[in-house]
Structure 1
Amino acid sequence: MTTARAGDVDYDAHVHGYAVQRRTDPRIAARVHAAIGEGRSLINVGAGAGSYEPDDRYVVAVEPFAVMRAQRPAHRVPALDAAAERRRFPAVDWIAGRIGTTSRVETVPVPNDCVDGFVEAYYARPEHFLDPRVRASQSAWGFVDDEVERRAVERLRADLDSGAGDARFGHLRGQPEFHGSLRLVVGLP
């Protein structure tokens, strides 16, 4: 009998160095903590290393992958070995509708010097994708095979070396923040 893995990327096999590359950005954390408001307890589904969990609240952390649970700092609550069985990137409206009777969705701007290492954090610094440690801490790379990743990195390196990348996307380097896919969905009582 085989057991299906939670999610669509095997974090145990593909995501390493997460806690080193994926650090809490204080500006994003401030938005998360402001959204929590006076709430005294929360559940963090897909908790990972617990980067944005508040220290002053009751947190139930849920994380199906051992490699991610092992990277949680000692001061964080241990994560439960469980899964929510949601597909990757469900529609924001779908999530909001299931959180509660009233919810709000906020776009979270990504600062150009974001210290968290998720993919959009490097919108103004694409050279970071040349570092295999950065890619190893991003689940998106788990969707491509090694050869596709190698070709993508070679192309990026060539575009950066030739200046073609900056000719096309260099304006992003001076853009103070990026409004991309990062959303905060807040359930209200």
Structure 2
Amino acid sequence: MLCGMDEEQVYSRHADGSAGDADYGVIGASYAHYRQPDPYIAEFILKALGEAKTVLNVGAGAGSYEPVDRDVTAVEPSASMRSQRAAGLPAAIDATAERLPFADNSFDASMATFTVHQWSDLKAGLREMRRVSRGPVLILSCDPAELERSWLYEYAPEMIAVEARRYPATDVVKAALGGTTEVLTVPIPLHCIDGFSEAYYGRPECLLDPGARLANSAWSFTNQGIIERFVNKLTRDLNDGTWDSRYGKYRSQAFFEGSLRLIIARA
């Protein structure tokens, strides 16, 4: 079934503590294996953090993109995701974006990567990030208006529709954060190791792996029949050369400018 998220819709927490629409106790067991922080993308985040020494990571998951040279405080409601954090990372606090347990201006900066589409109340969560941050607030997300640029739109339009309904519009995020905002298009490298959908723009075979699909929560809201159709069509088109005749240029294209955006808001 298709599942969209209204800005004001509130979700109850799942058994493992997941606070959004996706239950990471069910789909997140191998998340850290497929969703590694990509060094190229990480450079955009580090540059935007500037001289910030204390950083809050909201919806921190398994710890992707947390800078190791800063004092990081992580917030993550899902027990499954907290358990996958690497040994060298700080333990994450069990809390949600909408109710951050910190005083005003507690951190030099705050960040949230691939998480705002999960929040039950987007505007409340962004206001909380702004409240506790003295400096910049960084949001790494996807622009729903640009998702149809991927070849996936031909093969799984229903999944792309799920993504587009869940990701908040860039202008909505900017308005909620206030202050001076900058939006950067983040090109996706060919061998991106952070396995969101567009990361496989030049490696379509990867999306035949059920684990790779499951690490992108939109697939969990897609009807099983649609998924089977996707797998059958992609397998057939890879075997007979149809995919390569249409999209083969992506196999050697160093970067793909898709929907990935870094929103930087300064007070």
Q: Which one of 107, 118, 121 corresponds to residue 199 of structure 2?
A: 121
Cα offset, 1:111, TM superposition: 0.5
Q: Which one of 26, 45, 48 corresponds to residue 35 of structure 1?
A: 48
Q: Which one of 29, 45, 53 corresponds to residue 16 of structure 1?
A: 29
Residues 91-100 or 125-134, more deviating:
91-100
Give the distance between the partners of 2:205 and 2:250, measured in 1 at CA.
13
CA deviations over 1:155-184 (Å, ceiling 9, x no partner): 111111111111121122222111111111
Corresponding position of 1:76? 89
Match for 2:168: what amino acid?
A: P
Q: Is 1:137 matched with 2:215? A: yes
SS at 2:226's partner residue?
helix
Give the distance between the partners of 1:60 and 1:90, measured in 2 at CA.
25
Corresponding position of 1:62? 75
Give the distance between the partners of 2:81 and 2:183, measured in 1 at CA.
27
Q: Is 1:103 matched with 2:181? A: yes
Match for 1:67: what amino acid?
A: S
Cα offset, 1:137, TM superposition: 1.7
Q: Is 1:176 matched with 2:254? A: yes
Q: Which one of 38, 44, 55 corresponds to residue 25 of structure 1?
A: 38
* TM-score between the two structures when normalised by the length of structure 2: 0.65
SS at 2:12's partner residue?
coil
Corresponding position of 2:12? 4
Residues 107-116 or 80-89, more deviating:
80-89
> Does the CA-based 8 Å contact 1:16-1:136 persist in structure 2?
no
Corresponding position of 2:16? none
Q: Is 1:89 matched with 2:163? A: no
Give the distance between the partners of 2:74 and 2:216, measured in 1 at CA.
20
SS at 1:98's partner residue?
helix
* TM-score between the two structures when normalised by the length of structure 1: 0.90
Match for 1:45: what amino acid?
A: V
Match for 2:227: what amino acid?
A: E
Cα offset, 1:100, TM superposition: 4.1
